[in-house]
Amino acid sequence: MNGDEGKYCIVCGGMVPSNSDVKQIEIDGKMIGIYSLDEIIAHVKSLNPDSDAEIKDELLAAVSKKNYIPTKKHDAYAAALLKEYKAKKD
């Protein structure tokens, strides 16, 4: 494969989205790329969730539509996504 063919995911073999669409966050001690994270956070903020639990549920639901979340890492993803959500300024 030459460099002109693009980058492929080592997990699923699919094309990796452009770098501007993927944000790296630390999840359980590893840097993980999340596709459309900024867009997802903006959407969840627009819902005005009442609690951290509701924020986590909404984030996980939205992220899992475009990203693979391993079942065993569900809680780790929720905690990392909540941290990113709270760090993101409106």
Q: pTM for this structure?
A: 0.79
**In whole numbers, what is the pLDDT of the chain averaged over residues?**
87
Helix ranges restricted to H, the chain: 37-46, 52-66, 74-87
Give the pLDDT mean for 21-39. 93
Q: Which residue has the higher pLDDT, 34 or 13?
A: 34
Give the pLDDT mean for 61-80. 96
> pLDDT tens digits, residue range 1-24?
445 566 666 666 666 655 568 899
Q: Which residue has the higher pLDDT, 90 or 47?
A: 47
